[in-house]
Amino acid sequence: MSTKKIITHRTPADGNIFADLGFAPEEAQRLLAEADMALDKKRALKQTLMTEIVYWIDAHNLKQAEAAEILGITRPRVSDVVNQKTPKFTVDSLVDMVLRTGKRVQLLVQS
């Protein structure tokens, strides 16, 4: 007999996980807005790093296979960078790739 628990509830993609966790409606909305803003900022950072990699590829007239070898990734991963598929990458992995291009990466934290 299987004791595997079956998940019967899932938050829809457009739902609010904070409301599902029992936060008051106003608090759930505020937390969701903060989480969305944080995700947008992280996505923008990833896009900036990806854009630098694409500029480097273009400036050196590299084919994706050549860029992949230098960046230490597969050719399909280069395609994902070129097509700005941000969910497929961590900031850390993109920083590593930018460093492999010979560029420096500097992070500035502002309050």
> 97 CB contacts (<8 Å, ≥6 apart)?
49, 53, 71, 72, 73, 81
Condensed to tens digits (0 to 9), the pLDDT of residues 90-101 reads 999 999 999 999
The whole-number pLDDT of residue 109 equals 84
> 77 CB contacts (<8 Å, ≥6 apart)?
68, 71, 88
pTM of the model: 0.79
The whole-number pLDDT of residue 1 equals 55
Q: Which domains does the chain have, with CATH numbers?
A: 20-100 (1.10.260.40)
Condensed to tens digits (0 to 9), the pLDDT of residues 50-67 reads 999 999 999 999 999 999
Q: How far is the C-alpha of 44 from the C-alpha of 92, rounded, in Å?
A: 14
The answer to whether residue 5 scores a pLDDT higher than 90 is no
